[in-house]
Amino acid sequence: MKSNIQEPNKGKMNKTSKKYRMRQFNRVGLITLMMIVLLSGMVYASTGMQRGDVVRIFNSVDVAEGEIIDGDVISIIGGANINGEVRGDVVTIIGNTKISDTALVEGDVVNIIGNVENFGVSNSVINIIGSLALGGNVNGDVIQIVGNSQLTSGALIHGDLVSFLGGFDNQNGEILGQEITVISFLPDFINRLLPGEYPPLPIILLLVIMFSVLAHVFAFIFGAILVTIFSDQFTSMSESVKEEPGRKLGMGVLLYIVLQVAIVTVAITIIGIPLLLFVIPLSIFIQFVGNLIVKIGIGRKMASNFEREYGLIGELFIGTLIYLLLDILIAGKPVTFIMKFFGMGELAARALDRKEPAKAQQAQQPQE
């Protein structure tokens, strides 16, 4: 009887010991694998390679000759000095980028507000606000926006070169694609404000002013088309926008809040995401029309002060100039932001005034 009882226990013990041994083997195998990975990582690091992206804020990124970055190089308010190899992109925001003749960038070189010197090998080069000097091999396109670009001898661009708002100086460089220059009348003025000579603050202010001017120019052109088509409606709204200003302001603010809530509500629902293509343009258009109404109202007020008649387009032009001056001052931006609420309130009031007579007529029909 004892032997019968003990034999099952021995079997259980054998099974337990086997499981224990298997666990031990697994642990040893895991430790061995970790050691192999660790050693391979040490060998990998000894070759000068860094895995992953390199990101610096308020500091520069330096990649020494022979060093390899297996990822992107990103510098924000700093700079990038590349002498080795980068297997991703090199992105610099507010700072200078220097690619030496020993450097290889497999991705793109992107610089926003800063100067670029590219004498190595890279894919495309994009520089916005700053000067660009090329003396290396660019496998893609070169895009320069606001600033001078220079090609030295030995520079080779396999794609196109696009220069917008800047000068272009080709000193025996070669462009296999097309050379496209758009509006190149500001090179000297821009060069005086390039980073490296002055702090980036003037560049940022210049950028804000330029975009404000362009935005108001396009707004005036599109607004003039709308005003010409719907002249009677804009004439009536620009005259009545000054009536009940408190009510118009409140209704405009309420309409603005409703539009923003609608955008957020639609965006956070999967079903409503396609509606963003309708809701966002609708919100932009309503705000745009509100500004138009106020601009024409300001122009009309100015015309009455000088006892002259400029017409709707002339009044829109005067109002646009006043808006532009306020936006350039930057401190006036809150003023223009609030002023559009009066125009939006006028739109809301018109919509409500049309519904109220319709309801009144429906209420009177049963009595008749």
pLDDT of the chain, 368 residues: tens digit per residue: 444 444 444 454 454 455 544 555 454 444 444 444 444 444 343 345 565 678 888 888 999 988 989 889 988 888 899 999 999 899 988 889 999 999 999 999 998 888 899 898 998 898 888 888 898 889 989 888 877 888 888 888 998 888 877 777 888 888 888 888 776 555 444 445 444 444 455 556 666 777 788 888 999 999 999 999 998 999 899 888 888 888 899 999 999 999 888 888 877 776 666 777 788 888 899 999 999 999 999 988 888 887 888 888 999 999 999 888 888 776 677 888 888 999 999 999 888 876 555 444 555 555 44
213-235 in b/e burial notation, b at 16+ Cβ within 10 A? eeebeebbeebbebbeeeeeebe
Structural tokens at position 47: 């070759």
- Are 187 and 323 found together in one domain? no
Cβ contact 196:113 at 8 Å:
no
Position 34 in a domain: yes
Q: Report the pLDDT value the prediction gives residue 40, as an integer from 0 to 100.
A: 43
Report which secondary-structure segment, H or E, holds 89: none
Q: What is the dihedral of CA 325, 327, 332, 338, to 10 degrees?
A: 120
Domain that holds residue 37: 12-46
Position 291 in a domain: yes
Position 140 in a domain: yes
For 189-296, list the strands marked E by DSSP.
none
Q: Report the pLDDT value the prediction gives residue 292, as an integer from 0 to 100.
A: 93
- Are 37 and 64 found together in one domain? no
Position 368 in a domain: no
- Are 314 and 183 found together in one domain? no
Position 112 in a domain: yes
- Are 152 and 116 found together in one domain? yes
Structural tokens at position 124: 């495309």
- Are 145 and 264 found together in one domain? no
- Are 29 and 65 found together in one domain? no
Q: Report the pLDDT value the prediction gives residue 199, as an integer from 0 to 100.
A: 42
Nearest to 323 by CA among 353, 302, 289, 298: 298
Q: Report the pLDDT value the prediction gives residue 105, as an integer from 0 to 100.
A: 93
Report how far residue 86's alpha carbon sits from residue 104's, in angstroms, rounded to the nearest whole number.
Answer: 6
Q: Report the pLDDT value the prediction gives residue 48, as an integer from 0 to 100.
A: 54
Name the maximum alpha-carbon separation found in the chain: 125
- Are 305 and 343 found together in one domain? yes
- Are 64 and 172 found together in one domain? yes
Q: Report the pLDDT value the prediction gives residue 333, as an integer from 0 to 100.
A: 79
Domain boundary among 191, 217, 246: 191
Q: Report the pLDDT value the prediction gives residue 317, as an integer from 0 to 100.
A: 92
Q: Report the pLDDT value the prediction gives residue 254, as an integer from 0 to 100.
A: 93
User: How many domains does the chain fold into?
Assistant: 3
Position 367 in a domain: no
Domain boundary among 162, 191, 220: 191
Report how far residue 50's alpha carbon sits from residue 54's, in angstroms, rounded to the nearest whole number.
Answer: 9
Q: Report the pLDDT value the prediction gives residue 154, as an integer from 0 to 100.
A: 83
Cβ contact 101:117 at 8 Å:
no
CA angle 300, 296, 250 (to 5 degrees): 110
Phi-psi label, residue 62: left if phi above 0, alpha if psi -120 to 50, beta otherwise: beta
Position 1 in a domain: no
Question: Which residues, including other chains, have CB under 8 Å from residue 95's CB and lie 6 or more apart?
Answer: 60, 75, 76, 77, 78, 79, 80, 111, 113, 114, 195
Domain boundary among 136, 167, 191: 191
Position 3 in a domain: no
- Are 167 and 221 found together in one domain? no
- Are 213 and 251 found together in one domain? yes
- Are 172 and 79 found together in one domain? yes
- Are 175 and 215 found together in one domain? no
Note if the pTM is more than 0.95. Answer: no
